[in-house]
């Protein structure tokens, strides 16, 4: 089991190492302060100003695409696909995230995923994306991939993505709250059996 990655539902993870990193904070219930908050896109279930506020301390740095950044206050780094930055010692690569067979996240929005390094491990947070050709170029030790279908990849497509990225561990996300269920996560794990280690994290 990965010990430093905690799933709080949907695309919200609390990841600890040199820093406390939160991803796409949504429906936050426990009091905590993030060092870094990374946000993939402007949809309400990913870019939630009230949830960001709950985790913000005086030194919290937020990384987000411009349209989400405009909704937030504090120390914010506005990013687009292709950017690379170092935030408080954490290396962050900004990668594309978009739909190919639906229109919820069009490429022109310049919404993103991230590959960031915590405790020496490269963690890929896919964001709301379909299975895109760029994934063949991504290198990651741990891949956090959406599996619900509808707005993002299906479990089957996510499994194909995982095979391209070839991480040590793949973790399904984006199910159980807005869309998708544990069945999608199980399907994803089933398709990767014997190929890539999948960890279905308990929701905390």
For the bound state, the minimum distance from the C-beta of residue 46 to Zn ion, rounded and expressed in Å, comes to 6
Closer residue to Zn ion, CB minimum distance, 56 or 129: 129
Q: Which is nearer to Zn ion, 39 or 142 (CB)?
A: 39
Residue 128 within binding range of Zn ion, rule CB under 5 A = yes
Question: Reduced to 3 DSSP states, what percent helix, strand and coil does the chain have, rounded to the nearest 5?
Answer: 20, 30, 50
Query: Segment near Zn ion (CB under 5 A), from 30-38, 71-79, 124-132, 162-170?
Result: 124-132
User: Are 124 and 101 contacting, i.e. CB atoms less than 8 angstroms apart?
Assistant: no
Contacts of Zn ion in 49-78 (CB under 5 A):
none
Q: 14 or 43: whose CB is closer to Zn ion?
A: 43
Looking from the CA of 43 toward its CB, the CA atoms found within 13 Å total: 20
For residue 62, give the H/E element and its range. strand 61-65
Per CB under 5 A, 10 contacts Zn ion:
no
Using the minimum distance from each CB to Zn ion, give the nearer residue, 111 or 138. Answer: 111
43 near Zn ion (CB under 5 A) = yes
Residues that bind Zn ion (CB under 5 A): 43, 128
């Amino acid at each position: 089991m990965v010990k430093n990655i905690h799933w709080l539902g949907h695309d919200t993870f609390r990841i600890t190492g040199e820093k406390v990193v939160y991803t796409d904070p949504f429906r936050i219930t426990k009091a905590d302060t993030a060092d870094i908050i990374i946000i993939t896109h402007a949809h309400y279930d990913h870019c939630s100003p009230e949830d960001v506020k709950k985790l913000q301390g005086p030194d919290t740095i937020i990384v987000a695409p411009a349209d989400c950044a405009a909704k937030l206050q504090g120390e914010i780094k506005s990013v687009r696909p292709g950017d690379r930055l170092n935030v408080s010692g954490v290396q962050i690569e900004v990668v594309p995230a978009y739909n190919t067979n639906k229109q919820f996240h069009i490429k022109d929005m310049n919404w993103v995923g991230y590959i960031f390094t915590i405790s020496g491990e490269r963690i890929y947070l896919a964001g709301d994306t379909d299975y895109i050709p760029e994934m063949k170029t991504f290198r990651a030790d741990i891949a956090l991939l959406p599996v619900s279908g509808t707005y993002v990849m299906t479990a089957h497509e996510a499994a194909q993505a995982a095979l391209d990225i070839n991480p040590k561990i793949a973790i399904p996300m984006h199910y159980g709250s807005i869309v998708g269920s544990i069945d999608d996560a199980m399907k994803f794990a089933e398709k990767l059996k014997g190929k890539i280690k999948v960890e279905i994290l308990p929701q905390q």
